[in-house]
Chains A and B, each alone.
Chain A
Amino acid sequence: MYGLGILKGMWVTLTHFVDTFVDDLRWLGRRYYTPEGIAHRSSKDSRGIFTVQYPEEKLPVPEEFRYIPFLIYDIDENGEHQDRCTSCGICAKVCPPQCIWIVRTEDPETKRPVPEPVEFFIDIDICMNCGYCSEYCPFQAIRMDHDYELSSFDRHAEHIFNKERLSKPAAYYNEIRPVNFAIDEAERAEKAAKKAGN
């Protein structure tokens, strides 16, 4: 029968329409603006519409999510910030669009490089969020951040992040990436043990 195909199609749209309301009723008051509601909406059992009401509600990002890198510092007994970065330059060498700029420190007397960069810049307009800097850093010093709300009014003035802007405490890292943090800590402990043993 001509038109049957169209009717079948309309049946599908009708089911979608009804499903949305059925799901709304089943989840009365909890489908929107609650963490379970968001999780349900993007699960295999979700029926009806998926829409997330950004920015009122936000999808939680998974741990591996990567955006702009940040530098990690530890806080020592005296409350001083200790950069993990040794300015070894590997991240600057592996960065595909070459948007990392590092100024290495020199000891004023011996002229030998000392670990800890004087400055560290990332041009976030150019960063392609690839995650290589974090992947190849041998000192667990640079990791990928989750913060994706970075719009600003003046990109010329604000989009080159310097060391101060990039640095975040290890506790923050633990907060956003607990699994990765644990792996890094284990590696660092192993390295420290080796050093102590020598």
Chain B
Amino acid sequence: MRFSALKRDERAGYEGHIVPASSLLEVAKALRDEDGFDLLSSVTAVDYLTDNEEEESFFEVVYHLYKSTGGGAEVLRVQVPRENPVVPSLVELYPGADFQEREAWDLMGIKFEGHPDLRRILMWEGFAGHPLRKDWKEVYFEEEAKPFGNRWPGGQVYRVEDQNPYGKNNQYPDGFDPESWVETEDPLLYENLEKAAREYTEDIDTEQVVVNLGPQHPSTHGVFRMAVRLDGETIVALKPVMGYLHRNHEKIGERNTYIMNMPFTDRLDYLASMSNNFGYALAVEKLMGDKVAPPERAEYLRVIMAELTRISNHLWAIGFLLNDLGAFFTPALYAIEERELILDIFEATAGSRMMCNYFRFGGVARDLPAGILPRMKDLVNERLPRKIDELDLYLSENELVRSRGEGVGIITPEDAIAFSATGPVLRASGVPYDIRRADPYSIYDRFKFDVAVRYHGDVYDRYMIRVDEMRQSLRILKQALKDLPEGEILTGHNPYQVRVPAGEAYGRVEGPKGELGYYIVSNGKPSPWRYHVRAPSFINLTILEKMCVGQKVADVVVNLGSIDIVLGEVDR
């Protein structure tokens, strides 16, 4: 490479380059402007803590850069000492780094120099420490990794709740008094709102008010809050506040064994558990290598389940977008009827409607039970096409939907890429980037389908693109169901503890909401050393403020609905 500062990562099982913190900005800028790596997909950090005297402990910030025209990743890593770790912020170059850097600060305690709004994002101010650090322990700490020793053979049962009673289950930072702390004085949040507002109204001084939409608000699809600064009805600044559903999925994942994480991924985006399983299985299979290459039939089943999930997710997204528009529940319930039939299939095959836990390393857990294949075929060939057409007829030309959607919340293609938006949000802005085509995984390269694109980047197009995508998914499903081969569904014998060689892997799939990635670092032990989820709902929210500024309060709700978030995945 032309940078003398870049060093190839020589560790076994690793790829990409190590960059000194001082030249990160320069390298990233060149990669973006000269080499076309314009999509910063994932930013995360790993704590390489060691008690070995001869090795050094350090933090590593890992960046996965992609081209919006397709292809593989360029991985950059910056290594910084564990004491006072500082890394330059990439927000200037890639605004999509905003929330991800805040997350790395919040959970790992890495300072991003030059970040305009570096404060906690998932935890609250009364939280002591940075929980993803390897030396951080919660108040009630059982053991470093599962399985816990006291469950067998001498399992004297107790309730964890009793060991960890309410009131004693928290630790606060020094000098923090939860009793006297008042949320409305949260200085950082409001200061930043004001800063953003000042940029908006340079000339005249008008009376502005701050309104909190949420955390309990019918439009937020869960517990999510938007602090907005209003000039009359017009938004001048907006800051999303999240983390109310945070459970530190990643820390749990680092204490679980590899196989235990599978059902936990169901709980990320609980409307699309099959997709979540898919991404995680791909990442671990990458690490484990060819000995867990799934057999043909399993690959088909995986694709079938993932596409059915996409349809059910988009039905839900459209239904609830219409709810946000004020068409209360009739469209949503029509859409959910069809989703119900898809969930019936999941239930009969995987055993659960939503928490499917269906994928295993090297295949899937169960074969289709008798009688399910004809039902799937009926659904895919007859019912769903009819019902999607009906939905289209029902809503797409409705003048109210059009006038509330057209020209609202416009995202330009440049912004969409810069803010790391993925999935329908990106494609509705005219960027035909779909990982199933851009960086094909599994057997997607065998199917004929088009990448759906729309060009206005407004709410209406984000609605239409979901209708388009459902039709494309049906095309894939028809082919897959027709060609579904007989045979094995799992390579190997499905051991309860898998051996994963040391190294790292980033597995990503085109989930219904966007790029769902899993970054896993293994050190050869039964549990992953680092387990990070690149959550599309979370990162797509980065652009929300930009979409909303200058629009009316009522449009905020619609804009949020058109991104399609699930708080289980945003907050993790």
Contacts and interface: CB of A to CB of B under 8 A. Distances in A.
Interface in A52-109: 61-66, 87, 89-90, 92-96, 98, 100-104
Given A62-B347, A64-B351, A160-B157, 8 more contacts: A92-B155, A96-B256, A98-B147, A102-B153, A104-B152, A119-B157, A128-B355, A135-B365
A136 interface: yes
Contacts of A129: 352, 355
Contact of B157 (A90, A121, A130): A121
Interface in B475-515: 494, 496-497
Contacts of A94: 147, 257, 259-260, 496-497
Contacts of B262: 130
Contacts of A144: 351
A67 to B, nearest CB: 9
A35 interface: no
Name the 5 nearest CB pairs between A and B, nearest first: A101-B155, A5-B397, A104-B153, A130-B263, A89-B152
A90 B496 contact: yes
A104 B153 CA distance: 5
Contact of B402 (A5, A89, A102, A131): A5
B146 interface: yes
Interface string B315-359: 000000000000000100010010011001001111110010100
Contact of B399 (A6, A44, A63): A6
A65 B153 contact: no
Given A6-B400, A9-B398, A92-B147, A103 B153 contact: yes
B436 interface: no
Contact of A87 (B153, B337, B379, B402): B153
Contacts of B393: 8-9, 12
Interface string B145-159: 011100111111101
Contacts of A96: 146, 256, 260-261, 263-264
Contact of B351 (A12, A66, A101, A136): A66
Given A63-B369, A93-B147, A128-B355, A12 B390 contact: yes
A18 interface: no
A179 B344 contact: no
Contacts of B139: none
A135 to B, nearest CB: 7
A2 interface: yes
B152 A101 contact: yes
A4 B400 CA distance: 11
B153 A44 contact: no
A110 to B, nearest CB: 16
A90 B147 CA distance: 10
Task: Give the size category of A's interface with B.
Answer: 35 or more
Interface residues of B, number: 57
A35 B53 CA distance: 69
A103 to B, nearest CB: 5
Contacts of B494: 135-136
Contacts of A95: 147, 151
Nearest to B365: A135
A123 interface: yes
15 contacts: A5-B399, A6-B400, A12-B390, A42-B340, A42-B341, A61-B347, A62-B344, A62-B348, A64-B366, A95-B147, A98-B146, A101-B156, A102-B152, A135-B494, A144-B351
A12 B389 CA distance: 11
Interface string B89-104: 0000000000000000
Interface of B: 146-148, 151-157, 159-160, 256-257, 259-264, 330, 334, 337, 340-341, 344, 347-352, 355, 357, 365-366, 369-370, 375, 378-379, 382-383, 390, 393-402, 494, 496-497
Contacts of B159: 123, 156, 160
A182 interface: no
Contacts of A156: 159
Nearest to A128: B263
B394 A65 contact: no
Nearest to B340: A50
A113 B152 CA distance: 12
Contacts of A101: 151-152, 155-157
A92 to B, nearest CB: 4
A22 interface: no
B369 to A, nearest CB: 6
Interface in A1-18: 2-6, 8-9, 12-13, 16
A164 to B, nearest CB: 14
Contacts of B340: 42, 50
Given A94-B260, A131-B357, A121 B155 contact: yes
A16 B402 CA distance: 23
B152 A4 contact: no
Contacts of B370: 179
Contact of A12 (B156, B394, B401): B394
B156 A92 contact: no
Contacts of B146: 96, 98
A61 B352 CA distance: 10
Contacts of A32: none
Contacts of B337: 50
Nearest to A52: B340
Contacts of A121: 155, 157
